Every structure is written in C-alpha cells, then in structure tokens.
C-alpha cells in the first residue's frame, strides 16, 4: 500500500513537465520569507544557489535541456542510468524546468531529517489532485484534512484491525488459487501482474470498504482498474509534455482522463451510498471510520467530498503498488531456485499441517519477509519521494538550499548505493535483510514506503497481505520462469513487471 503521492513525483524526470501553476504551495516552507517561494512548479534555480556544484548530463541543449536520449515512457529508469554515472546528487533540466535528484545514502539521511525537511507535494502529485484532492497521499502539508484523516484512520491499521482483515484476505486469496489451479491443470501459464492486480484490488475493496468488484469473474480488468491506469498514465504524460504543447498533444488524452475520473467518482459514490443506506451495525472497516468516527480531540468529521477522495486514494494506492511488489517478488523467486526452496521450507515448517495460516503465523515467515523486502529494495514500486527544506540549510556540507527548495530522492538508486548495500547491489539476496545485516547498515537507506510523518499509513496492511499471499502460493506451487523472459519494468507512476508470466506445478504436499 505504498503511497502514490510519492511514486508520482518520480515522473518529473523529464520535466517539461506539467501545466504551469499546477502545484500549489505545499507546507510549512510557504511561510519562509516575506513573499514565500513562487507558486507553481519550483525549478531548482529558484532554491539551489550553487547549482554549478551539481552535475548534469552532457549534451545539454539550449531551451530544451537534457532531453537527448530520454524516453518519456521510462523516466525512472532514465534517471537511474543518468544518476549512476553522475553520482549521488545530480540534476536534470527540460524545457526550462530543472530538478535536483538525490540518491546517496548520506544525503538521503539528511533529507529524512524531519526537523529540516518535510514532504514536498511535487508536480506529479498535483496532477492527481483533480481526482484525489486532499486525500491522505495527495494533500499539501498545510491542508487540515490530512491530519484529520490520519488521526481518524490510523486505528484502522492497528494490530486488532489487521487481525480482523485477515479472514477476508484469505477469502480473496482463495479466488486467486482457484484461478491458478485451473491454469495449472490446463498446462497454461499465469499472468502474474494481471492476477496480482485482481487480488490486491479485491483485498482493499473488501477489507476497507465492504465492496466486491468481482475481478476474478472477469476475463478483462475491471473498468475501475482501466480508469485508474488511465488517470495514472495521464498524470505521467502531463509531466513529460511541454506546457505550451499540452493542449494540442493531450487533447484526446484530456477527454479520456475526464471520463476516467468521472467513472472513479461514480464508482466510489455508489460504494459510499450503499453503505449509508445499509441498516444494522457497521462493518467496522475504513469506510465506517470515515463515515462515523469523529476526531477524538476536536470532534470534527470528514466531509462527504473528502470521504470520496480518501476512498479513491485507498482503492488506488492500496492495490496498485502492492500488486507490483508481489509481482516482482514472484519474478525473483521463480529465478532463484535456492531461495524458493528455502522459502517453501519455512512456510511448511511454520504452518505445519494447516493449509491456511492464522493471523499470528504470517509474521513468523521471517525469511519470506526478507524475500519481499529484497524485491522492494531492487524495485520499490513507489520509486521516489520528494522533500522540501523547512528553512535555509545545506546538505552534504556543500549544497545550500533555500526554504521551500526541494529534491527528489530516487529510491531505486538509494537502494543500490554500494556504500550501503555492498559491491554487488544489483544481485537479489534476501539475506541482506537478516537482522545482523540490517543492524550493520546506516539508517534511512531502505525507503519503499516513503519517510517521516507522511510515510504510507497502510504499510503494515501491505506487508501482511503480501507475505500472506506469497506464503499461500509457495505452499501450493512450484514456480517456473519462462527461460526467454527478461525483466521489463513498466512505469505508470508506479513500477510493475511487464509481460511477466510463470508456469506452475502443484507441489506434492499440496496436491
């Protein structure tokens, strides 16, 4: 359930980007200075006085900037390639707008300091605000509904609440295994990203909002998924199209996006209306908390409009990134026979004769959790997050930044920094997350869920769901990779393996 607000900021990579003025002021830094920083996109030259100390790609061109060799479909992977050659802090510029990127472990640790930096709501996030508004992950720091919603909803992710979700998670997982059993019996491969998306959408919809999309009964993705992918893709396209050309190049896409947003809104309105009309006791889920619970101190409640925005936020963020995390983990398990065998042995030992685990047994799958963490290290499905200075400061002892200035922390490279992860950071090795290895590493070098007060509220939900599902699948199947497949990573603000299929065989103990 990593937050889309963070992932969307990574789409600023080829920043020609977005509509001018789309990003409103964001947070405490607005108060700095007499007039505050300019509204709209804040290009780096406005807040980084010594940009000359920060390297940029060669062959920068007048007016259009660092666009040679850039691919608008893969801005994250472009920036990974560029950052690997330029070092732990670098900058990219396109069409007059410049961004500072950070991936070095020491610099990222400074940006994680909540006394000096806060979340920056970047342009990618602003592009999602027409549909998500001041939802938890897209709210500006100064907007009161963020703290209100956080305080009301945080108990919905407590241990007791998680234990209550567990049976529903199991029920959805049975729909997945029924589907995979049929594919295995027919000798057919499974569509990993497609089926993980069905699973995670149904899981958050049923546990959080008591709604069944019927995803596993459909041959195609549910229209909600199609509309969601459309809005995410449109937000990314707005980030890489020069503002002056957007009305021409995005005319058709803008109409489709309006239809997608209208569908998302109608779907959520129907879910909320059905709950309001229901008689009898509530479900005790996230939607009940939104509708019935007042802030414990102020007595304030969420407005109807904000409830819609929160539901959309959770439905999108609650399944899009978790499905990617599961898909990457299954990819690496299928290509790592020793890791797969060790994880299967752990599941068998911890769960014993039970086909399905009790809630407490999921947390005992410690090696499988390492597999998940290592997959998130290599491909955090929320691949970056932005941080803005609360006051004038300097990072790395060299780079001054003014209040309100911001940088994008590129988690995909932070998670590969040899200074933190050793000489072969590209290798898949779950033992990087053995307790002794974790203790030996610096703080703030593993950030798949963001950082600080605005980190993902649903982190434990996502980790429990993903570990449970992986355990159930490894208990039941051996995984076989397509020998001709090479990992391709699709970017739609979040990251997802593209074209990943696996062949299954039932394990003897599970047959």
Q: At what angle do helices 223-240 and 75-86 cross, to 10 degrees?
A: 40
Ramachandran category for residue 465: left, alpha or beta (phi over 0 → left; psi -120 to 50 → alpha): alpha
CA 409, CA 405: separation in Å to the nearest integer? Answer: 13
Q: At what angle do helices 366-378 and 304-334 cross, to 10 degrees?
A: 100
Q: Does the active-site annotation cover 461?
A: no
CA 87, CA 110: separation in Å to the nearest integer? Answer: 17
Kindly name the residue from 381, 456, 461, 494 that is annotated as catalytic.
456
Q: How do 399-401 and 406-410 pair as beta strands? A: unpaired
Nearest to 117 by CA among 454, 498, 491: 454
Nearest to 491 by CA among 70, 87, 164: 70
Q: Phi/psi of residue 442, each to 5°?
A: -65, 160
Kindly name the residue from 101, 213, 446, 449 that is annotated as catalytic.
449
User: Do 382 and 321 form a contact (C-beta atoms < 8 A)?
Assistant: yes
Q: Does the active-site annotation cover 314?
A: no
Kindly name the residue from 321, 381, 451, 467 that is annotated as catalytic.
321
Q: Give, for 101, the enclosing helix (H) or strand (E).
A: strand 97-102
- DSSP result, 414-481: HTT-HHHH-S-TTS--GGGGSHHHHHHSPTT---TT--GGGS-TTHHHHHHHHHHHHHHHHHHEEEEE
Rounded to the nearest 10 degrees, how much is the dihedral formed by the CA atoms of 478, 481, 487, 489?
A: -50
User: Do 485 and 186 form a contact (C-beta atoms < 8 A)?
Assistant: no
Nearest to 313 by CA among 421, 458, 433: 458
Q: Does the active-site annotation cover 95?
A: no
Nearest to 187 by CA among 475, 427, 502: 502
Q: Give, for 394, the enclosing helix (H) or strand (E).
A: strand 393-395
CA 11, CA 16: separation in Å to the nearest integer? Answer: 11
SS3 for 189?
coil
Distance of CA 143 to the CA centre of its chain: 22
CA 107, CA 397: separation in Å to the nearest integer? Answer: 10
User: Do 212 and 274 form a contact (C-beta atoms < 8 A)?
Assistant: no
Q: Which residues are catalytic?
A: 321, 449, 456
């Amino acid at each position: 359930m990593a937050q889309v607000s963070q992932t969307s900021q990574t789409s600023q990579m080829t920043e020609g980007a977005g509509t001018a003025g789309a990003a409103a002021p964001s947070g405490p830094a607005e108060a700095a200075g007499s007039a505050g920083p300019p509204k709209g996109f804040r290009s780096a030259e406005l807040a980084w006085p010594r940009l000359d100390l920060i390297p940029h790609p060669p062959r920068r061109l007048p007016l259009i900037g660092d666009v040679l060799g850039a691919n608008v479909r893969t801005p994250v992977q472009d920036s990974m390639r560029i950052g690997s050659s330029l070092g732990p802090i670098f900058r990219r510029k396109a069409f007059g707008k410049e961004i500072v990127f950070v991936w070095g472990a020491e610099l990222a640790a400074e940006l994680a300091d909540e006394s000096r930096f806060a979340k920056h709501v970047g342009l990618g996030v602003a592009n999602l605000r027409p549909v998500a508004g001041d939802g938890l992950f897209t709210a500006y720091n100064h907007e009161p509904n963020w703290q209100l919603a956080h305080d009301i909803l945080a108990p919905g992710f407590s241990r007791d609440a998680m234990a209550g979700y567990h049976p529903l998670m199991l029920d959805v997982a049975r729909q997945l295994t029924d589907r995979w059993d049929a594919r295995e019996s027919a000798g057919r491969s499974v569509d990993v990203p497609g089926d993980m998306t069905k699973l995670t959408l149904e899981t958050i919809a049923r546990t959080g909002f008591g709604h069944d999309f019927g995803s596993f009964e459909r041959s195609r993705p549910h229209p909600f998924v199609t509309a969601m992918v459309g809005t995410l893709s449109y937000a990314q396209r707005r980030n890489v199209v020069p503002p002056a050309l957007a009305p021409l190049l995005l005319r058709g896409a803008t109409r489709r996006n309006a239809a997608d947003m209208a569908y998302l809104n109608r779907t959520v309105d129907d879910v909320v209306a059905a709950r309001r009309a229901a008689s009898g006791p509530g479900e005790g889920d996230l939607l009940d908390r939104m509708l019935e619970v007042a802030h414990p101190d102020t007595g304030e409640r969420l407005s109807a409009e904000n409830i819609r925005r929160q539901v959309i936020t959770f439905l999108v963020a609650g399944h899009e990134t978790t499905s990617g995390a599961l898909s990457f983990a299954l990819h690496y398990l299928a290509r790592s026979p020793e890791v797969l065998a060790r994880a299967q042995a752990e599941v068998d030992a911890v769960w014993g004769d039970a086909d399905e685990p009790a809630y407490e047994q999921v947390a005992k799958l410690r090696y499988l959790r390492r597999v998940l963490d290592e997959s998130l290290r290599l491909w955090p499905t929320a691949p970056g997050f932005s941080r803005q200075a609360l006051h004038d400061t300097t990072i790395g002892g060299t780079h001054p930044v003014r209040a309100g200035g911001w940088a994008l922390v590129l988690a995909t490279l932070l998670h590969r920094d040899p200074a933190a992860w050793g000489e072969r950071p590209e290798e898949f090795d779950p033992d990087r997350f053995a307790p002794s290895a974790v203790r030996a590493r610096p703080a703030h070098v593993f950030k798949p869920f963001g950082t600080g007060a605005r980190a993902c509220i649903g982190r434990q939900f996502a980790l429990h769901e993903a570990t449970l599902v992986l355990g159930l699948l490894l208990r039941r199947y051996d995984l076989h990779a397509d020998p001709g497949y090479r990992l391709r990573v699709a970017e739609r603000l979040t990251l997802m393996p593209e074209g990943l299929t696996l062949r299954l065989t039932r394990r003897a103990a599970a047959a």
